[in-house]
Amino acid sequence: MILRLLSLFLLINAASTLAQSQVEQMPIIDYQNRFLPQVGSQGMVVGPEKLAAEIGQEILRQGGNAVDAAVATGFALAVTYPQAGNLGGGGFMLIHLAEPNKQVFIDYREMAPGRAHRDMYLDEAGAVDRQSLYFSYLSAGVPGTVAGLLHALENYGTLTVRQVLQPAVDLALKGIPVTYALHSAIGSRKERLLQDPGASMAYLIEGETPSLGSTFVQPDLGRVLQSIRDNGRSGFYEGWVAKTISEAMQDNGGIVSEADLKNYRVVEREPVRGSYHGYDIVSAPPPSSGGTHIIEMLNILEGFDLVSMGHNSAAYIHHVVEAMKIAYADRAAHMGDPDFSPVPVKQLLSKDYAAVRRSEINPQRARAPMEIQAGDFDDSESTDTTHFSVADTAGNVVANTYTLNFSFGSHIVVPGTGMLLNNEMADFMSKPGTPNAFGLIESQANEVSAGKRPLSSMSPTLVFKEGRPWLATGSPGGSLIISTVMQTILNAMTFDMNVAAAAGSARVHHQWMPDTLRLESGISKDTVDKLKAMGHPVEENVRTLGRTQSIMLQDGWFLGATDTRRPGGWVAGAQ
């Protein structure tokens, strides 16, 4: 009896000690903050839609790693988040592998078809034909999403193609509930979707938006997913799927051929790297402009005492915006596909270069775009892109951003596939000096050429603290992506904000041209007045800026935040 009581006492004491140890190790969260993260300990997936994020988390529960979960999430989003989740688009995946402690960047950006050429979007008068550029079969680049996700799985995942694809197949064939977010997304694009028979059949019910709470089934998309599940890459880039895409192109003035599809290639590139006050930043290299310019802006801002200025004060916003103008001017002059023209990444990332550019900033006055020149070196994207972040208990982390470009891409569905086509060709420079769909001026380095990848702003980013992954984030938003991601990580690094507060704080944006400072709601009137007095052409409260999906890693815990700027986001793995 005494031995039994002693054993019980020891068991209770051990349990109490373990519980106390867990409490002591739990992340510190300031509950006085208006924005609070979701917390978990068994891995986490943060994305723009619940069903897809939960599928990724279930893959983690089954023993898959972060890459397996990211691939499963990516394919599922093609079903549940059609405005940006996709099979017919492309993107970038940034992976941190705990073993052997390295980062991998997978470029699966779309490629220009073999028959593409520089002047293909100019009409007889030499003006850009925007209907052809944005909303036609001719606007599609060769899609890279399927090849990119499968490349990641085959090289860095642990599960089979069937294991990670089957959940997406089931969603498409069995149907998904029409949530408010899905109903709103389809409804907002109904008139444009009605203009294409394939899109109307795939996304509308007798010409109307699927009703709230109904079951939305996508049998054609399910067949394509089954083909990929059963045949891997060749199930999309060859065989009946490729033939169907090619024939639709031929019948409708497009130029993506079966040969283009078969010859699509994924490229692994060296990520860009920088540092900021002891943190290490790893991000997307060209043909993304995002990572380079995020680090360039941080290099410039590192020399200012931002803390003493105060977060989102007039002085703080002024200095951040002036750094943005410099970076976006450099983007316009230098960025393109590095496989086709040299990009001065090393110079743009230089601390010495940042010091020179920092000295040009007047602390009292805004500079007009014409006063800001791009750096002179000797060796010289839609708001409905989407991002998701994944982390597992083994220390692997994935930041993935992919897109169709515009919301619902070109709004064209290839008949028999249920698959939306991208309109990524709009991300090339169509005519010198003419802004793209996001108002960005670009150089001849980004002109249309067969086999080239268009310049992108997508910026999946990882931040390391004391050598360990600390923050994974990214955003949609076209030209807004770069400034959104930069401000999110700057908030966390400089002002010690939790991941939800870093995402939730009001943002600002300036992209050099046009000369407009965009401010979200939440910036005080006094601050706005001071910015105007400095000469900033302020545009207030027009729309939200970006939508991050982020995970912060702290002492074995996962702190997730889905940006509340749009509905439907989800943190899977919260406890």
Per-residue pLDDT in tens (0 to 9) along the chain, 575 residues: 444 544 444 444 444 433 344 444 677 788 888 899 999 999 999 999 999 999 999 999 999 999 999 999 999 999 999 999 999 999 999 999 999 999 999 999 999 999 999 999 999 999 999 999 999 999 999 999 999 999 999 999 999 999 999 999 999 999 999 999 999 999 999 999 999 999 999 999 999 999 999 999 999 999 999 999 999 999 999 999 999 999 999 999 999 999 999 999 999 999 999 999 999 999 999 999 999 999 999 999 999 999 999 999 999 999 999 999 999 999 988 999 999 999 999 999 999 999 999 999 999 999 999 899 887 664 434 557 999 999 999 999 999 999 999 999 999 999 999 999 999 999 998 877 666 665 666 677 899 999 999 999 999 999 999 999 999 999 999 889 999 999 999 999 999 999 999 999 999 999 999 999 999 999 999 999 999 999 999 998 668 999 999 999 999 999 999 999 999 999 999 98
Q: What is d(CA 182, CA 141) in angstroms, rounded to the nearest whole number?
A: 26
Which of 565-574 are b and which e, b meaning 16 or more Cβ less than 10 Å from the residue's Cβ? Answer: bbebbbbbbb
Give, for 464, the enclosing helix (H) or strand (E): strand 461-465
Instruction: Look up residue 167 and give its two tokens.
Output: 């959940």
Q: What is the pLDDT of residue 32?
A: 80
Q: What is the pLDDT of residue 271?
A: 98
What are the C-alpha distances in Å from 121 to residues 2, 327, 382, 429? 89, 28, 19, 10
Q: What is the pLDDT of residue 21?
A: 40
What are the C-alpha distances in Å from 328 to residues 55, 172, 332? 37, 40, 6
Q: Which residues are catalytic?
A: 385
Torsion region of 451: left, alpha or beta (phi above 0 gives left; psi -120 to 50 gives alpha): left
Q: Are 318 and 359 in contact (CB under 8 A)?
A: no
DSSP 427: G
Q: What domains are defined for the chain? A: 269-383+457-572 (3.60.20.40)
Which of 207-231 are b and which e, b meaning 16 or more Cβ less than 10 Å from the residue's Cβ? Answer: eebbeeeeebbbebbbbbbbbbbee
What dihedral do alpha carbons 310, 314, 317, 321 form, nearest 10°?
-150
User: Using CA of residue 185, residue 504, residue 109, residue 325, what is the dihedral sign?
Assistant: positive
Place of tokens 């108002």: 439
Q: What is d(CA 316, CA 303) in angstroms, rounded to the nearest whole number?
A: 13
Q: What is d(CA 69, CA 72) in angstroms, rounded to the nearest whole number?
A: 5
Place of tokens 């890279």: 144
Using DSSP's 3-state secondary structure scheme, residue 387 falls into: strand
Q: What is d(CA 319, CA 534) in angstroms, rounded to the nearest whole number?
A: 11
